Structure 1
Amino acid sequence: MNVVPIALLFTVVAGHSAPAAETDYRHSRESTAAAETAGVEYVNVAQLPDEWRTHAERTAYEETGRYDETVALCRKLADFSPYAKYMSFGTSGEGRELPLLVLSKDRRFEPDVRGRPAQALVRAADSSMQDSTLDSRAELMLTAGERAAGPLSSKPRVLLQCCIHAGECEGKDASLALARDILVAGVHANLLNGLDLLIIPIFNVDGHERFGPYNRLNQNGPREMGWRTTAVNLNLNRDYMKADAVEMQAWLGLWKAWAPDLLLDSHATDGSDCQYDVFYTASIGPGLDPGISGWTQKIYLPELLAGLAAGGQLAIDYCFPRDQRDLTKGFAGWSGFAPRLSHCYAALCNRPSILVETHSLKPYRQRVQTTYDMMRHTLECVNRHGGELRDAVSAADARAVETRGGEIDGTVPLRWRTSEESQPIVYKALEQRFRPSEVTGGEVVVYGKKPVDVETVMCNQVCVDQSVTPPAAYLIPPQWSEVIRRLNLHGLEYFRLAEKRALPVRIYEFQNVKFATRPHEGRFSPKYEVRARDEMREFAAGTVVVPMNQPRAKIAAHLLEPQAPDSFVAWGFFNAIFEQKEYAEAYIMEPLAQRMLDEDAALRQEFANRLKDADFAGNAGARLNFFYRRSRYWDAAMNVYPVGLLLDASLLSGLR
Structure 2
Amino acid sequence: MFSIKRLLTLSLLWLALPAIAQETPFEKSKKTETATYPQVIAYYKQLAKQYPQSKLITYGPTDFGEPLHLFVLSKSKVFDPALLRQQNKRVLLINNGIHPGEPEGIDASMMLARDLLKQNTLPEDVVICIIPLYNIDGSYNRSGTSRANQNGPVAYGFRGNSRNLDLNRDFIKTDSRNSASFQQIFNTWQPEIFVDTHTSNGADYQYTMTLIPTQKDKLNPILSGYLTGTLVPDLYSHMAGKGYELIPYINSVGETPESGITGFLEPPRFSTGYAALHNTIGFMPETHMLKSFDKRVDATYKLLQTYITIVQRDAKTIGSNRKKADLAVAQQMEFGLEWKLDQNAVDSLTFKGYEAKQKPSEVSGADRLYYDRADPYTKKIKSWNSFVPSTKVNKPVAYIIPQAWGRVIELLKINHVKLARLTEDSKVPVDVYYIKDYKTMPGPFEGHYLHSAVKLETVKRNLQFYAGDYVIYVNQPENRYIIETLEPQATDSFFNWNFFDSILGQKEHYSAYVFEDTAAQILKDDPSLKAKLDQEKLNNPALAKSGKAQLEFVYKNSAWYEQTFMRYPVGRLTENFKLSIN
Matching of residues 205-244 of structure 1 within 5 Å: 205-244=136-175
2:18 touches 2:50 (CA, 8 Å); kept in 1? no
Q: What's 1:120 paired with?
A: none
Q: What's 1:92 paired with?
A: 62
1:191 touches 1:379 (CA, 8 Å); kept in 2? no
Q: What's 1:518 paired with?
A: 443
* CA distance in structure 2 between the partners assigned to 1:490 and 1:590 by the alignment: 52
Q: What's 1:481 paired with?
A: 406
Q: What's 2:556 paired with?
A: 629
User: The residue matched to 1:199 in structure 2 has which SS?
Assistant: strand
- 1:514 CA displacement: 4.3
Change in CA separation of 1:541 and 1:260 when aligned onto 2, cut-off 3 Å: same
Residue 155 in 1 paired to residue 155 in 2?
no
- 1:75 CA displacement: 0.6
User: The residue matched to 1:320 in structure 2 has which SS?
Assistant: coil
Residue 52 in 1 paired to residue 22 in 2?
yes
Q: What's 1:415 paired with?
A: 338
Change in CA separation of 1:321 and 1:440 when aligned onto 2, cut-off 3 Å: farther
Change in CA separation of 1:71 and 1:580 when aligned onto 2, cut-off 3 Å: same
Change in CA separation of 1:222 and 1:498 when aligned onto 2, cut-off 3 Å: same
Across the aligned residues of Structure 1 and Structure 2, the Cα RMSD in angstroms comes to: 2.7
After superposition, what is the alpha-carbon deviation per residue over 1:528-583, rounded to whole angstroms, capped at 9, x for unaligned? 31121223222211110101111111110111111111111111111000001123
Change in CA separation of 1:304 and 1:191 when aligned onto 2, cut-off 3 Å: farther
Which residue of the other structure, out of 200, 204, 212, is the alignment partner of 2:131?
Answer: 200
Q: What's 2:9 paired with?
A: none
User: The residue matched to 1:464 in structure 2 has which SS?
Assistant: strand
* CA distance in structure 1 between the partners assigned to 2:465 and 2:185 by the alignment: 33
For structure 1, the 5+ residue unaligned runs are 1-41, 115-149
- 1:222 CA displacement: 0.8
Change in CA separation of 1:173 and 1:519 when aligned onto 2, cut-off 3 Å: same
Which residue of the other structure, out of 531, 536, 539, is the alignment partner of 2:462?
Answer: 536
Matching of residues 160-179 of structure 1 within 5 Å: 160-179=94-113
* CA distance in structure 2 between the partners assigned to 1:62 and 1:329 by the alignment: 35
Change in CA separation of 1:171 and 1:617 when aligned onto 2, cut-off 3 Å: farther
Change in CA separation of 1:329 and 1:93 when aligned onto 2, cut-off 3 Å: closer
- 1:636 CA displacement: 1.0
1:284 touches 1:297 (CA, 8 Å); kept in 2? no
- 1:255 CA displacement: 1.4
Matching of residues 121-520 of structure 1 within 5 Å: 151-184=85-118, 186=119, 189-283=120-214, 285-324=216-255, 327-334=257-264, 336-401=265-330, 403=331, 406=332, 410-420=333-343, 421-435=345-359, 443-449=367-373, 450-520=375-445
Moved more, 308-317 or 169-178: 308-317
- 1:58 CA displacement: 1.5
- 1:386 CA displacement: 0.7
One-letter amino acid of the counterpart of residue 210, structure 1: N
Percentage of matched positions with identical amino acids:
31
- 1:81 CA displacement: 1.1
Change in CA separation of 1:61 and 1:612 when aligned onto 2, cut-off 3 Å: farther
After superposition, what is the alpha-carbon deviation per residue over 1:310-348, rounded to whole angstroms, capped at 9, x for unaligned? 1221211224222226x54422222x2311111121122
After superposition, what is the alpha-carbon deviation per residue over 1:475-494, rounded to whole angstroms, capped at 9, x for unaligned? 10111112111111111101
One-letter amino acid of the counterpart of residue 417, structure 1: K
Change in CA separation of 1:652 and 1:343 when aligned onto 2, cut-off 3 Å: farther
2:210 touches 2:247 (CA, 8 Å); kept in 1? yes
Moved more, 262-271 or 461-470: 461-470
How many residues align structurally?
562
Matching of residues 580-619 of structure 1 within 5 Å: 580-590=506-516, 600-604=530-534, 606-607=536-537, 612=542
TM-score (norm 2): 0.90
Change in CA separation of 1:48 and 1:309 when aligned onto 2, cut-off 3 Å: farther
* CA distance in structure 2 between the partners assigned to 1:514 and 1:468 by the alignment: 20
Matching of residues 573-584 of structure 1 within 5 Å: 573-584=499-510
Matching of residues 42-81 of structure 1 within 5 Å: 49=19, 52-81=22-51
- 1:369 CA displacement: 0.8
Change in CA separation of 1:584 and 1:89 when aligned onto 2, cut-off 3 Å: same
1:103 touches 1:192 (CA, 8 Å); kept in 2? no
Q: What's 1:101 paired with?
A: 71
Change in CA separation of 1:642 and 1:50 when aligned onto 2, cut-off 3 Å: closer
